[in-house]
Amino acid sequence: MFFKNAGKVLLAAVIACGFAFMGTRADCSDSKVYTIRIGSISSEAIPEVRAAYEFKKEIEKSSGGRIKVEVFPNGALGGDRQMAEAVSLGTLDMVLTTTSALTTYEPKFGILDMPFAFSDAQAAFKAVDGELGQYLNKELERSAGMVNLGYMLNGVRHMVNSKRPINAPSDLAGLKMRVMESPVYIGLFKALGANPTPMSFTEVYTSLQQKTIDGFEVSANFMVEMKFYDVQKYYSLTGHTVSFLVAAMNKNKFDKLPSDLQKMVAASAKKWFVDYQRKVSLSEDAGYIKQLKSHGMSVNGITPENHAKFVKAVQPVYAEFEKKLGKDVFVLLKKYQ
């Protein structure tokens, strides 16, 4: 009787494993729970953090509890560079960070910071989803031990300050402007006559309050969600950069996941960090501009004539960084311009 019952139990286990294999589990012997900790400097209202919570919900369900996701927004684990370093070292699993923060590990990511590189966000998407993005992903794995699970839209970046509207490059003369800790951004604002001040994003609001900087550059969603309208006056739609974030995961952590979980993570990351995040970011942008006006900010556009002046003023930046980053990456960029 014992052997008869044991046979039934064994048969049931085999059948269960078979169904699990056809569903979400590739290895029934693997009952380990994998935790993925995700850090971001953004608030819960920003699209990439909203995407992270959707990613968490979907992955925990589709993995049958084999993956647990913890999300840490609002810079709880540090600034972009600190979290990127933690992911590279393996003390943090994933970071939603600017491509600028990755230039410490792979300077060629600076190509995405080049001013006026893309005509619009759609042109930029083709670049990061195409050869240019694939090239940078390989370099990131090699130099930093990170897997890029998707390029997210950090927004079309515009200039903001407390002194005056920016209509032409000459209006930037002498302004102390916070920039991301990226050589390209520093070079850009030097070329435009400003005084660039590299600074972690987590320090910007206080620095504006204390007037240690005059302004900075940022997308409209951050202006609203972080309430920068309380400490700034002029928002100028320069559109100088289409900025990206990456969902960068420690490569060793990703590689240690069973193959079925790797596929789940990659598919869910594309769904939420790429498709959803980009769609939401683009659809909400116009509404954010209206909100800035309703909060009393002065918002101005740039005429075609003045836009041409900006483009001409930054040409030395292209010459400088083609030497620093290499001609190969600029050849790839030009395919999408």
Q: How confident is the model at residue 182 (pLDDT cuts 50, 70, 90)?
A: confident
Are 302 and 167 a contacting pair, CB within 8 Å? yes
Q: Which residues contact 139 (CB under 8 A, 6 or more apart)?
A: 106, 108, 109
- Residue 248 scores a pLDDT above 50: yes
CA 262 to chain centre: 21
> C-alpha distances in angstroms, 68 versus 34, 53, 59, 97, 246?
6, 12, 8, 21, 21
| Token duo for residue 33 | 């729970």
Rounded mean pLDDT, 131-149: 98
Per-residue tokens: 101: 């923060």
**Other C-beta atoms within 10 Å of 119: how many?**
12
pLDDT in tens, 22-49: 444 445 446 899 999 999 999 999 999 9
Is residue 14 scored above 50 in pLDDT? no
pLDDT of residue 330: 97
Using an 8 Å Cβ cutoff, are 158 and 236 in contact? yes
- Predicted TM-score (pTM) of the model is 0.82
Task: Quick: pLDDT tens for 262-292.
Answer: 999 999 999 999 999 999 999 998 899 999 9
Indicate the burial class of 118 (C-beta count within 10 angstroms; 0-12, 13-18, 19 or more): buried
Considering only the top CATH level, what class is 32-334?
alpha beta
Per domain, the residue ranges of the chain are: 32-334
How many helices (H) and strands (E) the chain has is answered by 14, 9
Average pLDDT over residues 9-31: 44
* CA distance readout (Å), 332 to 123, 127, 156, 235: 13, 8, 21, 32
| pLDDT confidence of residue 30 | 62
Task: Decide which of 198 and 29 is more confident.
Answer: 198
